[in-house]
Amino acid sequence: MRSLLLASLMGASALPALAEEVNVYSNRQPELLKPLTDAFTEATGITVNAAYVEKGMAERLKAEGERSPADLIMTVDVARLGEVKDAGVTQAVESEALNVVPEALRDVDRHWFGLTTRARIIYASKERVADGEVTTYEDLADPKWKGRICTRPFTHNYNVALTAAYLAYHGPEETKAWLEGVKANLAKKPEGGDRDQVKSIWAGECDISLGNTYYMGKMLEDEEQKAWADSVRIVFPTFENGGTHVNISGVAMTPAAPNKEAALKFMEFLVSDEAQKIYAEINYEFPVSDHVERSEVVQGWGEFTPDSTPLSEISKLRPEALTLIEEVNFDG
């Protein structure tokens, strides 16, 4: 692909024009992207080439520099989007169509844009936790939960972002005290992913856990995991003076972007009603566009008020949040 591109740029005027394409680096699973790329190609004729990059996205792009074939970065979590921006491997993008993304869900300098949201919720045992017994993130440090909380490691990006949001409301001293309180309430050492924590609730090892909303949909799809999902209810906790913490999947354009015009078309497509509906159905995520409804399954989980703290602020607080998590040795 790269050699063909270079040949065309070197003035081989007799060669036929190459078909338009967009090259994407993504750490999202390929099966999540394919319905979107297929729909875009069908609508525009532009081919999307996706390379799965699980780790080291910023490092790879920095090493490739201006020779990078990548036009776009698609990833999950505001921390990862903040990392690529801070590494200097993104550029600002101006587009009216992208203004459908709420300001709180896009970078203040327009380097990245949210495509979907997911809430960081509490999974609570239907048998052992009463309705209304836990309603806020602050509640998790209450000693009444001693020995009853499960969570994946707090050094994971999802929990670092939650801690950064807590930090935005409470400052470092109160946040550190909260982390110490939650750690004291753990039923076991943090390990595994969000679904593993729900399995632990099902097994009676703990009563509540933190997790992302879409995992409920994933568990309901799986014959073995459906029993785990059926053992819990979803609680949308809030900050005492705010709403429910949400994170995003998002997109950013690279500085090199050899196919900038086509890449912008793909970005704009990703926030269109058609693409937002696909996102809502295939991964149980919340659309960023208020023109598109959540899937029926997701609507069944109830309503909530997303927290209004801009994700760009949460991204900036991430390093301090991670330092506090490490200071209390949360995962130790």
What tens digit of pLDDT does each residue of 289-300 get?
988 999 999 999
Residue 261 belongs to some domain of the structure: yes
When the pLDDT of each residue in the chain is averaged and rounded to a whole number, the result is 93
Identify the domain containing residue 187 by its residue range.
119-245+304-327
Residue 102 belongs to some domain of the structure: yes
Q: Are 137 and 162 found together in one domain?
A: yes
Question: What is the structure's pLDDT at 18?
Answer: 59
Distance separating the N- and C-terminal Cα atoms of the chain: 47
Residue 31 has pLDDT above 90, yes or no: no
Q: How many domains does the chain fold into? A: 2
Helix H or strand E segment including 22: strand 21-26
Question: What is the structure's pLDDT at 32?
Answer: 86
CATH number for 237: 3.40.190.10
Q: Are 137 and 238 found together in one domain?
A: yes
Question: What is the structure's pLDDT at 29?
Answer: 83
Q: Are 149 and 187 found together in one domain?
A: yes
Q: Are 317 and 269 found together in one domain?
A: no
Q: Are 192 and 320 found together in one domain?
A: yes
Residue 225 belongs to some domain of the structure: yes
Q: Are 196 and 320 found together in one domain?
A: yes
Sorting pLDDT into bands at 50, 70 and 90, what band is 54? confident
State how far the Cα of 330 lies from the Cα of 166, in Å rounded to an integer: 16
The whole-number average pLDDT for the span 202-210 is 99
Q: Are 253 and 233 found together in one domain?
A: no
Residue 110 belongs to some domain of the structure: yes
Residue 7 belongs to some domain of the structure: no
Q: Are 207 and 254 found together in one domain?
A: no
Residue 111 belongs to some domain of the structure: yes
Sorting pLDDT into bands at 50, 70 and 90, what band is 7? very low
Residue 21 has pLDDT above 60, yes or no: yes
Q: Are 179 and 54 found together in one domain?
A: no
State how far the Cα of 80 lies from the Cα of 78, in Å rounded to an integer: 5
Q: Are 135 and 241 found together in one domain?
A: yes
Q: Are 152 and 33 found together in one domain?
A: no
pTM: 0.89
List CB contacts of 209: < 8 A, sequence separation 6 or more: 122, 123, 149, 150, 151, 194, 197, 198, 200, 201
State how far the Cα of 288 lies from the Cα of 279, in Å rounded to an integer: 10
What is the length of the chain? Answer: 332
The whole-number average pLDDT for the span 133-139 is 98
Least confident of 25-29, 125-129, 235-239: 25-29
Residue 11 has pLDDT above 90, yes or no: no
Residue 332 belongs to some domain of the structure: no
- Render the burial of 288-318: b for 16+ CB within 10 Å, e for the rest: bbeebebbeebeebeebebbebbbbebbbbb
Residue 10 has pLDDT above 60, yes or no: no
Residue 30 has pLDDT above 90, yes or no: no
List CB contacts of 53: < 8 A, sequence separation 6 or more: 25, 26, 27, 60
Residue numbers belonging to the annotated binding site for Fe cation:
214-215
Could you please report the per-residue DSSP string of 243-307? -B-EEEEEEEE-SS-TTHHHHHHHHHHHTSHHHHHHHHHHH-PEESSTTSPPPHHHHTT----B-
Q: Are 146 and 79 found together in one domain?
A: no
The pLDDT > 70 percentage for the chain reads 95
Residue 216 belongs to some domain of the structure: yes
